[in-house]
Every structure is written in C-alpha cells, then in structure tokens.
Chain A
C-alpha cells in the first residue's frame, strides 16, 4: 500500500473578517499506510481540508505532505496521477454530458489512441457494472449512479490511492449501500471522510478531526465512540484511556 505522510502540516487562510489568518489545520503529523482510512468530524472541522492536501488540491502553509515520497507541491502532477479524488457532489465532478464521455476524458491524457481509449473506458465502466448507463445523460442518472460514474471516471486511470470527500452525503440508503459494496471491492488504498458512521466502521483506521486537529486516531469502533462523545458532551470529551487508539489534544501533534 502507498504511504501518505503529513509532516507538521498547517493550513491557514487570510480572511476579510478578522485580522491575521484563520488556521484550518494545525500541526498535523500522520502516516497513513492502512488499506481503508476513515476521517470523521463535524462540519467545518477540517476533514475536507485534510483530504484536499493528499491530492495537492490544497497546499500546506507549513509542513509537507507526501504520497509514496512524492511531495504534493513539487511533484503535484505525479501525485495527481496516483491519487484519485471523488467529490461529494458528482455533478460538480462529471464534466462531460454522458458517463462514457467523462471516463474517456479521464483517459485522454494517458491514452492518445482513440480506439484504445474507447476500449479502456468501456472496461472501466464494465468493472462497476455501469455499461448500460454509459450513454445516458448524467442528468438522467440517479444520485448513486452518478456517484458511481464519477468513481469509474477516477478509477479509469488506475490510481493507487482513492480519496473520497463525503461520497455518501447526497445518497439515499439504497445508493449508499451500493457505494459501500463497490468501495469494499476496490484494491486501491482508500482515504474517505464521511458523516455515515456505519461506513466509518468498515474502515481499518479512523481519524476524528475537530477544530483543525486530529483529536483521535485509532480503531473504527473507538473512534466512532470518541466522536459521539465529542458531539454529545462538547469538547474536550474523549473515551477513557483504556480505549484502544490514541487520544490527541487539539492542536497537539
């Protein structure tokens, strides 16, 4: 599995409202090598910021993020080839009128021959069982079908890491289950933020993000319990020291 490493990462942005900058992530030190990694936390806690760093969509203000040793700043093109990114809303992600065309668009950079590109796109769609929907307008697809289509477009170029930013937020229960089964069958390393705690429990390791810091890092069950406690009691409220996992104080690295 690839190793995604955060070394003393801080992300800060300038704001008009207050003097100085607003810190979105503070002192993140992580080494992610597991197959399935979940990121949970409240809205605005810094989950999306954390994920965007992995693909180089966002660059750290201080510190470094590397994917298999490649810096997301100096080797961003190579990083993006290795790290696929799935957004919450597939309509923002699918930039072509049909799924087949969108998958082919993903392949344009790596496959110059049109015939070969069509064959590869067909194979990518077939893998997720989407071939019957390939030529339908993306507006005619259900939310789950669109999300799978966006996933197929990302997987077509065979990334080694798949980052998903709350992929199930806009889906109903049936489509959520469909996405869950599909993700379970993928060989890529998955790093996914989610509000779906059932989905988080499928992971190998779960991070709880709060106020721009990773406040808990450990097994899914313990992380979900920590997150529940955090939401119900308000910070700081963490599981007892006997729980598996590492409890981190906000801001601590």
Chain B
C-alpha cells in the first residue's frame, strides 16, 4: 500500500520562529489565506503572498523538497483549472485563481509542517469547547480531524495501487475498474479504522467517563 501524494506536509520537528508561533496565530494565517483567495483581485498580489508563504515555509526548516511535494499532487488539477480559466476569462484571472489555490494549500501545509498533530488536536478540542453545551464531544471533533489527515493519503495510495493493477490487466481506460475497487477499499478501510478505534476504546460516546456499571 502506497500512502504518499498527500498535499499537506507532515510535521517536521524544529524550533523555528514559526514552530514557536502560537497555534491560534497559525490558524488565523490559514483562515486569512482562505479569505484572501476571495479578496485578492490582482495576480501580482497573489504572487507576492505566495512568495511570502514560500519564504516562511523555507524559514521553518521544512525544506524545499517538502515545498515541492506540497504542490506536486495538485499540478494536474491546477493545469486543467488554469487552462479552462485562461480560455474562459483570460490569462490574468487564470493566474490569480491558480496562485490563490496554491496560497491556501501552502498556508495549510505550513500549519501541519510546524505543528505536531496532537497539538493541532488539542487546539481543535479547545476551539470546539463551547459546543459541549449543545451536547457535542470536543474529543470527537479532534479525532475526526486526525483520522482525516491519515485517511487522505491512504485513499490516495489505494487509488495508485488500483490504477497499477488495472493497468497490468489492460483495464486502465475503464473507469469502473478504477472507481469501484477504490470505493470498496475505502469502505473496508473505514470499517477497519472504526474497529481499531473501538478496540482501543477511542471515539466511544462518553469515553472520558471513568467506567461502566
């Protein structure tokens, strides 16, 4: 099973200024990047923001290889989006849209590369705290985010495996030979993950309570 090709970088241990920046500030950076993608109307501003984020990413010590790895899986999709937008709305708009998507991905990668997952989850638990009044369990929010971070590369790896096996059987042009096995494997994976969590007593209703009986 291959599990690579995930666009968000894994945590890189370090002690850079960005590593030490409070989680709330990093969350705000991601939020602001998402907002900026709607507000920026000039592609040159997008270039400047992207360059700034690249600088921050490199300054964190995460390295240029991870930076490239964060962009690479998106390249085919961005090419299609860019070409379509160029045809429909012109070069400047196409460049702005593609650059703004990269800004969002890079901001999110900066967060995940400089923050251990457990600290991210602690942040999610804290942020979801007010929802306890409505009966929600903040730990479940955190668990959901954690599992999402792990599941996306798994499913991407499944897709690569299925594509290879379809290719080996000469079925690489048959969408059913690709989609169905990925779907079935993903459902099986979800079941196995649920079982693994249950075996560890995680994610159960009221799992913070001391005991049964």
Contacts and interface: CB of A to CB of B under 8 A. Distances in A.
Contacts of A94: 150
Contacts of A81: 201, 211
A233 B146 CA distance: 50
Interface in A214-235: none
B10 A109 contact: no
B146 A78 contact: no
B119 to A, nearest CB: 7
B202 A109 contact: yes
Nearest to B199: A85
A91 B149 contact: no
Size bracket of the A interface: 35 or more
Interface string A159-203: 000000000000000000000000000000000000000000000
A128 interface: no
A95 B200 CA distance: 11
Interface string B110-130: 000000111101100000000
Contacts of A109: 201-202, 207-208
A119 to B, nearest CB: 12
Contacts, number: 105
Nearest to A117: B118
Contact of A98 (B11, B142, B213): B11
A100 B198 CA distance: 20
Interface string B176-213: 00000000000001001101111111101001110111
A135 B201 contact: no
Contacts of A93: 196, 199
A31 interface: no
A74 B198 contact: no
Nearest to B122: A114
B4 interface: yes
Contacts of B204: 77
B79 interface: no
B208 A137 contact: no
Contact of A139 (B11, B157, B213): B157
A91 to B, nearest CB: 6
Contacts of A78: 211-213
Interface in A69-107: 74-78, 80-81, 84-85, 87, 89, 91-98, 100-101, 104-106
B118 A138 contact: no
Q: Is the interface of A mostly helix, strand, loop or mixed?
A: helix
B201 A96 contact: no
B57 interface: no
Contacts of A100: 116
Given A97-B150, A108-B139, A114 B118 contact: yes
B159 interface: no
B150 A96 contact: yes
Contacts of A139: 1-4, 153, 157
B45 interface: no
Nearest to B2: A139
Contacts of B202: 105-106, 108-109
B147 interface: yes
19 contacts: A57-B198, A74-B213, A75-B212, A76-B212, A77-B201, A77-B209, A91-B154, A93-B199, A97-B117, A101-B117, A101-B118, A105-B118, A108-B121, A109-B202, A114-B119, A138-B3, A139-B2, A139-B153, A157-B200
Interface of A: 55, 57, 74-78, 80-81, 84-85, 87, 89, 91-98, 100-101, 104-106, 108-109, 114, 117-118, 135, 137-139, 153-154, 157
Given A55-B199, A101-B116, A106-B202, 5 more contacts: A77-B209, A95-B147, A101-B146, A108-B202, A109-B202
Nearest 3 Cβ contacts at the A-B interface: A139-B3, A92-B192, A85-B199
